């Protein structure tokens, strides 16, 4: 078996149906891939739909009675996977017909991680409980659909018929997402290209709605971290471990489209996952991870753009190789963790216990002055001095 598509699903019956329907019309041999759907404690009609779905591929279903988080759900699928390549594809995605073929054919060795496009979105259904920000997005495209004003009173109303999924013309109704997160990743591609040559944080592209990796590598690094039970960051965490294990990340034009829907997670969940990741990697060898997560998630808090972020990480690697600046690196890590805590306090409107960091002693002052006099780590020094100045002012 060449590939296994892992799809966790929670109360997404109608969107999951369109997902599976698109996989029925893939241009890759259907006897060479399987699909495993993890019904992650759904209370809708997911189980009935799965039992009746006319799959043209091998379809396995795993029922998890209690939703213990998406990391746990995905791991249940990985355990039962037979394919050499794991393709991660969330329940609310629709795949173009070349999706499976491109993922599997891209794996020419056991150390490659493939990341597909994550830019496209589509309204396949209108939901009465859409969040406010969704309504202007829908209004921009609703004229494409046979949509009447009275349809707004329905809890759920299909706007793309299944025929459009079958013939592939659904793609004509999709649109490009434009968010700060997407813009930041696009700026990385413009700077470093699809092979990400010279880029030190490729795991930021490992989004588990369109990515693939050899099953053996996922098993080797320990599957998804099931301590991440809240929404977000479980994919980053696996991507980090794959990168640190020596995997090469490559971006390809592999298209699937996200179906817009109301949030199925509580506000604040991503903050908890972010907090967990910053604590998990709170060690000097992993400063790059903490710095990247803070810079990305708490956007604007450190005033670092994508290019400078990569240069700073390069400086960190240089200092780590030198070996003599470990205490200074620990000091830098403590300062960025303090920055994170101060921002979270404001976001949560609460006071959390702040880490205690003393000022530089004579040894660290000497090391910092040494670095100021050389050009190899100028970006690191600049950020450290800014953080130090801010810390002195608190």
pLDDT given at position 110:
83
What is the pTM for the complete model shown? 0.93
Tell me, what's the pLDDT at 357? 59
Contact 279, 341 (CB under 8 A): no
For the chain, report the end-to-end CA distance as a whole number of angstroms: 59
According to DSSP, the residues that pair with 121 across neighbouring strands are: 175, 258
List the one residue out of 211, 259, 262, 264 whose CA is nearest residue 18. 259
pLDDT at residue 85, as a whole number:
98
User: What integer pLDDT is reported at residue 178 of this predicted model?
Assistant: 84
**Contact between residue 8 and residue 70 where contact means Cβ atoms under 8 Å apart:** yes
Give, for all 394 residues of the chain, the pLDDT tens digit: 899 999 999 999 999 999 999 999 999 999 999 999 999 999 999 999 999 999 999 999 999 999 999 999 999 999 999 999 999 999 999 999 999 999 999 998 889 999 999 889 999 999 999 999 899 999 888 889 887 777 777 889 999 999 999 999 999 999 998 888 888 899 999 999 999 999 999 999 999 999 999 999 999 999 999 999 988 899 999 999 999 999 999 999 999 999 999 987 766 788 899 999 999 999 999 999 999 999 988 876 777 888 899 999 999 999 999 989 999 999 999 999 988 888 777 766 655 555 555 556 788 888 888 888 777 789 999 998 888 887 775 5
Closest to 236 in 3D by CA, of 209, 207, 275, 201 = 207
* Token representation of residue 7: 């799809």
Provide the Cα torsion 137, 143, 148, 153; round to 10°. Answer: -10
- Looking at the DSSP bridge assignments, the partners of residue 212 are 87, 114
Beta strands 58-64 and 125-127 are: unpaired
DSSP E strand boundaries for the chain: 3-9, 33-40, 58-64, 85-88, 93-95, 112-115, 120-122, 125-127, 156-158, 175-176, 211-214, 248-251, 256-259
Distance CA 278, CA 301 (A): 15
Q: Which residues pair with 112 in a beta bridge?
A: 248
Q: Give the E-state strand segments of 193-299 in sequence order.
A: 211-214, 248-251, 256-259
Instruction: Give the separation between CA 102 and CA 252, rounded to whole angstroms.
Output: 8
């Amino acid at each position: 078996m060449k590939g296994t598509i892992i799809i966790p699903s929670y109360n997404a019956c109608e969107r999951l149906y369109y997902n599976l329907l698109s996989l029925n019309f893939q241009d890759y041999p259907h006897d060479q891939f399987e699909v495993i759907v993890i019904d992650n404690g759904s209370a809708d009609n997911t189980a009935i739909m799965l039992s009746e779905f006319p799959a043209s591929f091998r379809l396995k279903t795993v029922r998890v009675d209690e939703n213990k988080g998406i990391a746990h759900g995905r791991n249940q699928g990985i355990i039962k996977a037979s394919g050499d390549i794991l393709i991660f594809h969330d329940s609310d995605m629709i795949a173009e017909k070349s999706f499976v073929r491109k993922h599997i054919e891209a794996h020419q060795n056991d150390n490659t991680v493939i990341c597909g496009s994550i830019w496209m979105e589509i309204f396949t259904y209108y939901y009465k409980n859409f969040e406010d920000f969704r309504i202007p997005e829908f209004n921009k495209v609703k004229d494409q659909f046979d949509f009447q004003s009275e349809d707004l009173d329905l809890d759920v109303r299909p706007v793309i018929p299944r025929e459009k999924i079958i013939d592939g013309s659904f793609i004509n109704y999709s649109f490009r997402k434009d968010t700060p997160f997407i813009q930041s990743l696009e700026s990385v591609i413009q700077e470093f290209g699809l092979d990400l040559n010279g880029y030190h944080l490729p795991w930021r592209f490992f989004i588990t709605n369109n990515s693939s990796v050899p099953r053996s590598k996922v098993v080797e690094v320990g599957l998804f971290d099931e301590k991440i039970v809240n929404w977000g960051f479980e994919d980053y965490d696996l991507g980090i471990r794959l990168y640190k294990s020596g995997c090469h990340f490559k971006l390809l034009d592999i298209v699937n489209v996200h179906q817009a829907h109301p949030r199925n997670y509580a506000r604040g969940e991503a903050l908890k996952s972010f907090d967990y990741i910053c604590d998990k990697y709170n060690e000097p060898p992993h400063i790059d991870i903490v710095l990247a997560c803070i810079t990305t998630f708490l956007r604007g808090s450190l005033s670092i753009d994508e290019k400078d972020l990569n240069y700073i990480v390069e400086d960190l690697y240089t200092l780590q190789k030198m070996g003599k600046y470990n205490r200074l690196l620990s000091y830098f890590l403590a300062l960025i963790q303090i920055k994170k805590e101060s921002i979270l306090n404001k976001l949560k409107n609460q006071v959390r216990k702040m880490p205690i960091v003393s000022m530089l002693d004579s040894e660290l002052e000497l090391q910092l002055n040494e670095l100021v006099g050389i050009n190899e780590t100028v970006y690191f020094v600049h950020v450290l001095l800014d953080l130090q100045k801010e810390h002195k002012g608190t």
